[in-house]
Amino acid sequence: MKILSFDIEDWFHILDNDSTKSVDSWSRFESRIDEGVSRIIDLLQETDQKATFFCLGWVAKEHPSVIQKIVNSGYQVASHSMNHQLVYEQTPEVFRKDLSESVKVLEDVSGKQVSMYRAPGFSITDECLWAFDIMEEEGIEIDCSIFPASRAHGGMKSYGVAEPSIIQRNGYSLKSFPINTKSLLGRDLIYSGGGYFRLLPKYLISKFFSDDDYVMTYFHPRDFDSEQPLVPGLGLTRRFKSYVGIKGALSKLKYLLQNNTFMDLEEAANIIDWKYAKVVDLND
């Protein structure tokens, strides 16, 4: 099962960076989201692949034609939050408002029901499990926010499952599609998106995609935009992580799409027999 998903945010939506953190700062930057999404859709149509697009409500509000282009091209829309802020830095009240607003604007613009969510930066940790309670109350049925390994934005190594599973908490159940991991040299490697996807050579990435039974990808338009400006304020290490391998990333993705069969999240959820899925108890 290989699931293709894209996080629809602009090139300046970089987390943990003071110069781009606030929503008010984003008006200073020229948007490249229309071009970036068009590039992705053209490739998907060329290779006849399905995908789920986790979209910012902010993108739907500021660039509704981008969301409409996704829907009119036949792809599924899900929420990636309203304003791309780290969950563990929010209060439950702020998180609820952000999630609710994102779902409303995405549904209004797309004309489709939105019941799937991915947190910015996979930023749901052991300290903010209340986020799942709010998701359930707000009508989210499938979550893709779990990063079952350590990372800069927290992660949730304690989750212990890197495959489709069921979150059980406070009397309800939530379907979960975590990011998949790869054990390499004693470390949990995440290769299906982000820096490692762009950094590792094509033959190794292709081998990982072919070998693993479950792959959950998480690409961004900026991953394939070699002409984007540099985000101001990034240190050398962060700049390397954010820009390494961008020039070759689109051809690498095209190769994967030509040599693998992917599905969107809806299809994946429908073919899983959930009564046999692993249950992860996250009760307080």
- Which CATH number fits the domain that encloses residue 76? 3.20.20.370
pLDDT tens, residue by residue, 32-74: 999 999 999 999 999 999 999 999 999 999 999 999 999 999 9
Domain hosting 89: range is 2-281
Assigned token pair, 238: 């962060």
Using the CB atoms, write b or e for 39-60: b if 16+ within 10 Å.
ebbebbeebebbbbbbbbbbbb
The region, left, alpha or beta by phi > 0 then psi within -120 to 50, assigned to residue 239 is alpha
Per-residue pLDDT of the chain (284 residues; tens, 9 = 90+): 999 999 999 999 988 788 888 898 899 999 999 999 999 999 999 999 999 999 999 999 999 999 999 999 999 999 999 999 999 999 999 999 999 999 999 999 999 999 999 999 999 999 999 999 999 999 999 999 999 987 777 789 899 999 999 999 999 999 999 999 887 777 778 899 988 899 899 999 999 999 999 999 999 999 999 999 988 877 787 777 777 889 999 999 999 999 999 999 999 999 999 999 999 999 98
| DSSP percent split of the chain into helix, strand, coil, nearest 5 | 45, 15, 40
Contact (Cβ atoms closer than 8 angstroms) between residue 150 and residue 139: no
> What pLDDT was estimated at residue 92?
98
CA distance 20 to 29: 9
**Among 218, 219, 222, which Cα is nearest to 29's?**
222
Helices and strands per DSSP (H, E), number in the chain = 10, 12
pLDDT tens, residue by residue, 82-105: 999 999 999 999 999 999 999 999
Those residues with Cβ within 8 angstroms of residue 139's Cβ, 6 or more apart along the chain or in another chain: 103, 115
CA distance 20 to 250: 25
Note the pTM of the prediction, 2 decimals: 0.95
Task: Count up the domains in the chain and report the number.
Answer: 1
**Among 57, 54, 59, which Cα is nearest to 142's?**
54
Coil/strand/helix, residue 167: strand
Contact (Cβ atoms closer than 8 angstroms) between residue 282 and residue 169: yes
